[in-house]
Each structure stands twice: as C-alpha cells, then as structure tokens.
Amino acid sequence: MLALAALVALAGLAVALISPHVDKAVNEVTLPLRHDDIIRQQARDKRVDSALIAAVIYAESRFVPGRTSRSGAVGLMQITPATARDIARRSGGTAFVVEDLDTPQVNIAYGAWYLRELLDRYDGDVAAALAAYTAGPGNADRWGGSRLRSQDIPFPETRAYVRKVLDTRERYRRRYADELGY
C-alpha cells in the first residue's frame, strides 16, 4: 500500500512538472504567439488591442515568417507593397523598401498602423475595420461602413475572416493575457 501511495505521488509530481511543457507545446500548435514584445509595443504606440494584432497575424500568416500571398501581400500581417508604401509615406517613413516587410518589427508596426487607421475610419467598429483590412476599404464602405455587421458581409470568405479574427482575439486574450499585457 505504501508503494502504491509513493507511485501515485510520483505520478502526480511528474504530471505537475510535465504539464506546463505540454500546455506550451499545445499552444504552439493550436494558437502560436511570437514577437509578443513587438506586439505589445505597437499596441501601446498605435492604441490597438494587442490581442487583435495577434489575431490578425494568426489569421494572415499563423506567425510563419516569410509568407507571401498570391496577391503579393508580405510578412506576418500580409501587407501589400502598395499599402506599405502608402503607410511609409503617410507615417513619415523615409527609407522604406519592400524587403523591410519581412522584418517582424516593420511588418507589425505597419500592420498596427493600418489597423489604427481603419478603426478610426470606421468609428472603432472592429468588424468593419477587419473587413476593410482583408477586402479593402471600398468594399467595407459599400457594405455599411461603421454600421457593418459581420453577418451582412456578402463575401463568404471575408465574413469568415472577420468572424475568425474576432473569435481568435478572444482566445488570445484568455490564453496569453500576461504576454499581451492584460
């Protein structure tokens, strides 16, 4: 009986020691987070929810560096070179080159800047800002602008994107509260 109690205690200790590592491994697969220092800094600087930035990165690239879309969008937040040039010009950037979008600091800074601009344009309406982020402001304007509801988005892909990012934002808030500065 004593041996059984010792075995149970040892098993409990093993679970306690292994569990945080298993949780971290599961998070890496199901909901990865990288560059949380950059995300927190840009969230503060641009007044954008850090979990929203993380959720957009997750939806756009799953935090995999070096991604380029069929439309030519680049990096973690999948920013097109044309949008990046416009952001650089309007935000005072003087030495921007497209290759800079491969740098997490630049890509996240530009993506956060663009999210802030869209949130301002749509009076803080996150669904409208996300619709504009993925489908363009012209489409988001036609769909109702700041009065847009995700269920009213006529493009199924855009509607699914908005819902996915909103859901993922909540998951990041819960799972990575400390890392994202909550």
Catalytic residues: 60
The tokens for 144 are: 């109702």
Return the C-alpha torsion angle 177, 121, 85, 143, nearest 10: 100
End-to-end CA distance of the chain: 47
- DSSP designation for 31: S
Query: d(Cα 59, Cα 151) in Å, to the nearest integer?
Result: 19
Residue whose tokens read 């808030």: 173
DSSP string, 120-144: HHTTT-HHHHHHHHHH-HHHHHHTT
